[in-house]
């Protein structure tokens, strides 16, 4: 086991296993006892045939049987202990890496959303944990004991050792073949499975659109094609695995018969006793059994090894913080965006180029521009959801990566363009699922968003279960509750991306009032706007086109530029405010 770990290279995974060295050593020691006790049946059979039967000593037989019972009892106890220790090691491995894996999962979700099905450190950790607790590790640990049984057979007679060694060489070749074949087929199965899962998730997320636009049959056809490919690859993997496993079992049984034949020849020649015939056959079967078990569990081993490689690589790419981060005071004075350039995750096109502006406490800016001008991209970069290609975002002079992400999150309120609520109560969603959140702060946020009275009219009030994605609420209700979530605990920076896209007049009035309250208490508001009415709440305005800031300054000055005729000869062509719609 130590040599196996040494070949895995330096990694957090190896360090995690090293911390469990005591348990691993115990597992290896128990494996040694289990394998030694495997000699019990062979020794008992040889003594019965060579000592008890010729002399017809019933007392000796009785004594030997009692010893065999005790030996098998210890064997069973050691085997159970080994299985339980493997389960404990797998659980400890999971617990030691869960937090790091979840951090990486969140990072991937932000930076590689397109890789959801291909990269999943949580799934890789689950596969590692399942493999460690399975029959795979005992089969691998028992492999070196082949040499022990081979030596025992050789001591009985060298021809028995030669025949068994020949069988081992053949089985070793099967093991190598199993490695190559299973690895190739398993990669194809995983890819086909990811494709099928992606198409299945699409039908759940977009069920209404699929049904209303008559796309159901086409998407079913797509899924069916992916499913057929998965079944084909799965069948190829199963065929290869079962063929190798079947050949290995047949070969093992044949070798046992071959060893029995050699033993019989030795007895006929007077070079061995009758008991050796049967004992050597059992020993040969036991010597070859670890290879047979390894082939049977090889698929799990290949899967675990691939998961190990992927997870180890991710842990290296996203190193754990080595020192405790100095806790900066939460921002309360200014926001500065310096030459910010952004590209969407997993993309190469630039959606925001060299953007610079600054705001101080109490200011609010309305961000204007046509669809695809980079407004939503800009606010995602400001809150740190997208990493800058160039430039920086500073709060009170410090770049946002100098804060702990969870601590800084309490100073940021964000209402995305696509409103997302989580399965739970309204109160839990407003409080951002903060444990034991003070009720008065939840009510205060709801009142700021103008939804307190609306929530009280629901059957269960603040305890209403909204369902996953807020499916129990209308689009406007979800947006207003999400606004309350953005205002929870009076964050310093409030970012609202088209916050009135689903609001009626009453909702817009509440939104304007909420923005004014944020400014009054010394907060900063960034608001992507498509309706001129809500610009009454801001004092600054920004115009974006093609990912660049075209104008930034006091609201009335920027609006005057936006609505000014473009030229005397083109006086009818007025650059009006953009129509309602999405933005990049």
Q: Give the 3-state DSSP-derived string for 403-464, with helices as H, strands as E and coil as C.
A: CCHHHHHCCEEEECCCCCCCCCEHHHHHCCCCCCCCHHHHHHHHHHCCCHHHHHCCCCHHHC
Gap between the Cα atoms of 558 and 367, Å rounded: 10
| Tokens (6 digits) for 281 | 């056959």
Q: Confidence class of residue 578 from pLDDT cuts 50, 70 and 90?
A: very low
pLDDT at 322: 60
Least confident of 109-123, 254-268, 331-345: 109-123
| Range 540-555 average pLDDT | 94
| Range 258-285 average pLDDT | 77
| Range 260-284 average pLDDT | 77
pLDDT at 507: 85
Q: Closest by alpha carbon to 513, among 394, 410, 371, 364?
A: 364
| Range 411-431 average pLDDT | 92
Residue 251 has pLDDT above 90, yes or no: no
| Range 201-215 average pLDDT | 71
pTM tops 0.75, yes or no: no
pLDDT at 267: 77
Q: State percent of the chain over pLDDT 70.
A: 91
Q: Confidence class of residue 212 from pLDDT cuts 50, 70 and 90?
A: low
| Tokens (6 digits) for 430 | 């407003």
Query: Would you say 515 and 364 are in contact if contact means Cβ atoms under 8 Å apart?
Result: yes
Q: Confidence class of residue 9 from pLDDT cuts 50, 70 and 90?
A: very low
Least confident of 58-72, 89-103, 307-321, 476-490: 307-321
Gap between the Cα atoms of 375 and 495, Å rounded: 11
Phi-psi region of 461 (alpha: psi -120 to 50; beta: other; left: phi over 0): left
Those residues with Cβ within 8 angstroms of residue 221's Cβ, 6 or more apart along the chain or in another chain: none
Least confident of 119-128, 353-362, 372-381: 119-128
Those residues with Cβ within 8 angstroms of residue 406's Cβ, 6 or more apart along the chain or in another chain: none
**How many CB atoms are closer than 10 A to CB 45?**
19
What rounded mean pLDDT belongs to the chain? 83
| Range 59-86 average pLDDT | 90
Gap between the Cα atoms of 478 and 469, Å rounded: 9
Least confident of 209-213, 482-486, 540-544: 209-213
Gap between the Cα atoms of 309 and 314, Å rounded: 9
Gap between the Cα atoms of 538 and 388, Å rounded: 26
Residue 538 has pLDDT above 50, yes or no: yes
Query: Would you say 398 and 328 are in contact if contact means Cβ atoms under 8 Å apart?
Result: yes
Q: Which of residues 291 and 433 earns the better pLDDT score? A: 433
Phi, psi of 517 (to 5 degrees): -65, -40
Question: Quick check: helix, strand or coil at residue 388?
Answer: coil
């Amino acid at each position: 086991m130590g040599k196996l770990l040494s070949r895995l290279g330096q990694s957090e995974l190896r360090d995690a296993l090293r911390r469990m060295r005591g348990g691993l050593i115990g597992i290896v020691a128990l494996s040694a006892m289990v394998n030694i006790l495997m000699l019990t049946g062979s020794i008992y059979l040889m003594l019965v045939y060579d000592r008890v039967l010729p002399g017809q000593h019933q007392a000796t037989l009785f004594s030997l049987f009692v010893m065999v019972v005790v030996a098998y009892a210890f064997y069973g106890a050691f085997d159970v202990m080994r299985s339980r220790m493997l389960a404990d090691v797998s659980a400890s491995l999971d617990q030691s890496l869960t937090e790091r894996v979840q951090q990486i999962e969140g990072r991937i979700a932000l930076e590689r959303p397109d890789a959801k099905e291909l990269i999943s450190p949580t799934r890789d950790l689950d596969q590692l944990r399942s493999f460690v607790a399975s029959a795979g590790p005992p089969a691998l640990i028992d492999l070196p004991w082949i040499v022990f049984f081979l030596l025992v057979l050789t001591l009985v007679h060298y021809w028995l050792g030669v025949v068994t060694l020949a069988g081992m060489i053949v089985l070793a070749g099967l093991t190598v073949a199993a490695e190559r074949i299973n690895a190739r087929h398993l990669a194809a199965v995983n890819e086909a499975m990811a494709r099928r899962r992606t198409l299945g998730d699409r039908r759940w997320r977009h069920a209404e659109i699929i049904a209303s636009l008559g796309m159901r049959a086409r998407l079913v056809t797509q899924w069916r094609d992916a499913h057929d490919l998965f079944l084909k690859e799965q069948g190829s993997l199963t065929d290869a695995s079962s063929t190798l496993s079947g050949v290995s079992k047949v070969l093992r049984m044949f070798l046992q018969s071959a060893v029995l034949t050699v033993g019989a020849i030795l007895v006929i020649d007077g070079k061995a006793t009758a008991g050796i015939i049967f004992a050597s056959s059992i020993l040969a079967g036991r010597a070859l059994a670890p290879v047979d078990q390894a082939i049977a569990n090889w698929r799990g081993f290949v899967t675990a090894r691939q998961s190990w490689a992927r997870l180890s690589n991710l842990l290296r790419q996203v190193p754990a913080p080595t020192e405790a981060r100095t806790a900066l005071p939460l921002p309360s004075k200014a926001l500065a965006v310096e030459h910010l350039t952004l590209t969407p995750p997993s993309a190469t096109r630039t959606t925001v180029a060299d953007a610079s502006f600054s705001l101080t406490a109490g200011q609010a800016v309305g961000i204007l521009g046509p669809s695809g001008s980079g407004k939503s991209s800009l606010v995602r970069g400001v809150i740190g959801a997208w990493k800058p290609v160039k430039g920086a975002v500073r709060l009170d002079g410090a770049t946002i990566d100098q804060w702990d992400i969870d601590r800084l999150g309490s100073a940021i309120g964000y209402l995305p363009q696509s409103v997302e609520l989580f399965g739970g109560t309204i109160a839990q969603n407003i409080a951002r699922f903060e444990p034991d959140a003070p009720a008065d702060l939840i009510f205060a946020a709801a009142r700021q968003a103008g939804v307190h009275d609306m929530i009280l009219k629901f059957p269960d009030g603040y305890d209403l279960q909204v369902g996953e994605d807020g499916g129990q609420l209308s689009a406007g209700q979800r947006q207003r509750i999400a606004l309350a979530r953005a205002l929870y605990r009076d964050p310093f920076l409030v970012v609202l991306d088209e916050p009135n896209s689903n609001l009626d007049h009453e909702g817009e009035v509440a939104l304007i009032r909420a923005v004014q309250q944020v400014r009054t208490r010394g907060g900063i508001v960034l608001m992507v706007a498509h309706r001129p009415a809500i610009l009454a709440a801001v004092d600054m305005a920004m115009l974006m086109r093609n990912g660049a800031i075209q104008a930034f300054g006091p609201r009335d000055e920027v609006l005057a530029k936006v609505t000014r005729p473009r030229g005397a000869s083109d006086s009818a062509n007025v650059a009006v405010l953009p129509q309602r719609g999405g933005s990049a």
